Amino acid sequence: MNAAKPTFTLVISIMLLSSGTTLAQSPEQKGLEIAKEANARDNGWGDHSANMTMLLINKQGDTSERQIRTRTLEVQGDGDKSLTIFDEPKDVRGTAFLTFSHTNEADDQWLYLPALKRVKRISSRNKSGPFMGSEFAYEDMSSQEVEKYTYKYLADEPCQVDGKQLTCFKLERYPVDEFSGYSRQIGWIDQQEYRPIRIDFYDRKNALLKTLTLSNYQQYLKQYWRASNMTMENHQTGKKSVLTFSNYQFKTGLDDADFNKSKLSRLR
């Protein structure tokens, strides 16, 4: 350890304070700070379940709809666990998707397909692929842990949240995972509640690929905000997927046993 370093640092600090100068926060430091604050405000919810409607819209405007149940378990010290079960239509009924998100390593994901009667592991190299024919990728279905990205604050910008005019932080973030389908993402987070409002996704060639818009926010347990609507628009294909959530239930008593890949084939 260099004993002279603290002394040198102290001298510089005194010089800056005496001259009325403060150390500026870099855009990278500010971006990370905002991401950590958003994460801290959403800590402690335990578990929740919800019903979800997935509406798929093709370039011609034709639609198809799927009815889904979701369960999520908060994991302290690591990423969350989530389970998605398809109920309708009949051709996808019983399909189940399990994700173990991680903070410092690749996520684990498994998909049970009733038609094949087997559990398929989603490899890291395939996580940029479409999830069940939607405009959401497998990697979009994982929890968005702070450690999965590096950050850069870009600006403060006006933004509209459920009809209200607010101010948002505009951040750029870069996936740490080398197999991510994205080169970067630009997001808008409202400065009042630290809720994500919009995310632009750029493909590996740095072309705008998709935009996710989150709206109709509801607050639960007097603290936790959840968007009832998520719309993912693919700018390159003209397709769109809309997720609508309802019947959110928090702290229902879910535990690790409810997120077991060996049970995927028996979920109803």
Instruction: Supply the DSSP string of 106-120, one letter for each residue.
Output: --EEEEEETTTTEEE
Query: 123-174, pLDDT tens digit by residue?
Result: 988 999 999 999 999 999 999 999 999 999 999 999 999 999 999 999 999 9
Q: What pLDDT was estimated at residue 267?
A: 79
Percent of the chain with pLDDT over 90: 86
Query: 230-242, pLDDT tens digit by residue?
Result: 999 999 999 999 9
Instruction: Say if 235 falls within a structural domain.
Output: yes
What is the Cα–Cα distance from 53 to 87, expressed in whole angstroms?
10
Let me know how long the chain is: 268
Q: What pLDDT was estimated at residue 58?
A: 97
15-32 b/e with 16+ CB inside 10 Å = b?
eeeeeeeeeeeeeeebbb
Q: What pLDDT was estimated at residue 202?
A: 98
DSSP-assigned letters across all residues of 9-28: HHHHHHHHHHTT--PPPPHH
Q: Is the pLDDT of residue 17 over 60?
A: no
Q: How is residue 3 annotated by DSSP?
A: T
Res. 23 pLDDT band, cuts 50 70 90 = low
What is the Cα–Cα distance from 174 to 178, expressed in whole angstroms?
10
Q: Which residues span the domain enclosing 153?
A: 27-251
Instruction: Say if 9 falls within a structural domain.
Output: no
The torsion defined by the Cα of 209, 88, 117 and 256, in degrees rounded to 10, comes to 80
Instruction: Say if 141 falls within a structural domain.
Output: yes
Instruction: Say if 99 falls within a structural domain.
Output: yes
Q: What pLDDT was estimated at residue 113?
A: 93
What is the Cα–Cα distance from 174 to 176, expressed in whole angstroms?
6
Query: 93-128, pLDDT tens digit by residue?
Result: 999 999 999 998 999 999 999 999 999 999 988 999
Pair 122, 165: CB distance under 8 Å: no
Instruction: Say if 264 falls within a structural domain.
Output: no
Helix/strand/coil (H/E/C) assignment for every residue in 127-159:
CCCECCCCCCEHHHHCCCCHHHEEEEEEEEEEE
- The model's pTM is 0.89
Res. 24 pLDDT band, cuts 50 70 90 = confident
Question: Which tokens sit at 184?
Answer: 């970067």
HSE-CB of 69 using CA atoms within 13 angstroms: 12
What is the Cα–Cα distance from 45 to 43, expressed in whole angstroms?
6
Instruction: Say if 47 falls within a structural domain.
Output: yes
CATH number of the domain enclosing 236: 2.50.20.10
The torsion defined by the Cα of 230, 134, 266 and 80, in degrees rounded to 10, comes to -50
Q: Which residue has the tokens 């997720």?
A: 243
Mean pLDDT score of the chain: 91
Rounded to the nearest angstrom, the gap between the alpha carbon of residue 255 and the centroid of all alpha carbons in its chain is 21
Domain count, the chain: 1
DSSP lists the bridge partners of residue 190 as 168
Instruction: Say if 256 falls within a structural domain.
Output: no
Question: Which tokens sit at 208?
Answer: 């705008």
What is the Cα–Cα distance from 264 to 258, expressed in whole angstroms?
10
Q: Is the pLDDT of residue 4 over 80?
A: no
Instruction: Say if 1 falls within a structural domain.
Output: no
